[in-house]
Amino acid sequence: MTAQSCLCLFLLLLVAFHSTVIKANIVLPSPLCRPVLASTKENFQFAVNLHIYKAELFLRSVLGRGIKDISPGLVEGPAPIGATLANVDDDRTKKFIEESGLASIGHIRAIADMTLLKTPLPMPQLDLSPPVFAKFFETLNVTFEPPFNTYANTNSFLFAAVYASDFLKLFYAGILPSIVGNPERELAAGIALYEAASYGVFRSLLNDRANLPVLPYTFTVANATNLTAQVANQLGGCGVKDEGLTVPLPLGAENRTTSNVIAADVNSLVYARTAREILRTVFITGDATRPGGLFPHGFDGTLYERILALKQS
């Protein structure tokens, strides 16, 4: 081999090596899974919609009061449609729903202070009526007789509760790496850790009840976590990011357990979802540009407006 052909081969190998490295590292997400570019402030503004949803659902369900009653001047907008007291007869569960709902008010205030968003913050129209929660199951063509009522008892309300925290945990997990500014990063991390903890508490409460029926039906809490995980995965798209409380070994931590209190990926890292994936889920339309479900008039904020303008379904 001449020196020249040797160099040539070396360069060729170098190019080949480089392209495999590039292929291995840059896996482009499918168009449906690509994030829409947003500033740190826009991401917080988007999150406020989810914080307001959680606070209103929790506080109205256990106290019969909303954010405006507890922290006047923080938010302004229409009262949620169909909010009602939930029949949560387990005191520990009820106390934590109240605590976590109140915490959301602090989170909203901290975001307003940090981003200098003008208070009162606009409040999106929410629809918290029982048929909206029942509608999630229609995604799988499952209907219950009588229709599913999330407010009926502790077990059925825990499903609404765990997702209110999960949406926030998933969204913050997605935006954390791109948050600009130290105080902003600290705020996002502080909220993300709180929501992960809150998610863990609700999943743990569900796990304690895994073998109990979700009355008035015969299926169990464990069965229902399977079903709601399928609903969330189908609506959000972009792979399996939600799992039941019991999973086949290949989905369990280190492929060694079927116990799955915390849904997480192959290395047990929490899943992340983009704004579009969250919108598809909370709208129950599977389309980030078609509002409905829990947010019949869509979200407030410029990230949502851009998603609409760019038709990023």
Which residues of this protein are in contact with ligand NAG, per CB under 6 A?
A: 140-141, 219-220, 222-223, 226, 229-230, 243-244, 246-248, 250, 254-255, 266
Nearest-angstrom CA–CA distance, 213 and 270: 28
Looking at beta carbons only, is 178 or 220 nearer to ligand NAG?
220
- Tell the burial category of 132 from Cβ atoms under 10 Å away from its Cβ (0-12, 13-18, 19+): buried
Looking at beta carbons only, is 131 or 248 nearer to ligand NAG?
248
Q: Least CB distance from residue 228 to ligand NAG, whole Å?
A: 10
Q: Least CB distance from residue 202 to ligand NAG, whole Å?
A: 17
Looking at beta carbons only, is 43 or 223 nearer to ligand NAG?
223
Three-state DSSP at 208 gives helix
In the numeric block, the tokens 């869509």 are attached to: 298
List, in sequence order, the alpha helices (H) in the chain.
3-25, 40-62, 67-70, 91-115, 130-138, 154-175, 182-208, 221-236, 275-282, 302-309
Looking at beta carbons only, is 31 or 250 nearer to ligand NAG?
250
Q: Least CB distance from residue 111 to ligand NAG, whole Å?
A: 34
Q: Least CB distance from residue 268 to ligand NAG, whole Å?
A: 10
Report yes or no: 271 and 172 within 8 Å, Cβ to Cβ: no
Three-state DSSP at 159 gives helix
Q: Least CB distance from residue 164 to ligand NAG, whole Å?
A: 21
Three-state DSSP at 209 gives coil
Looking at beta carbons only, is 126 or 224 nearer to ligand NAG?
224
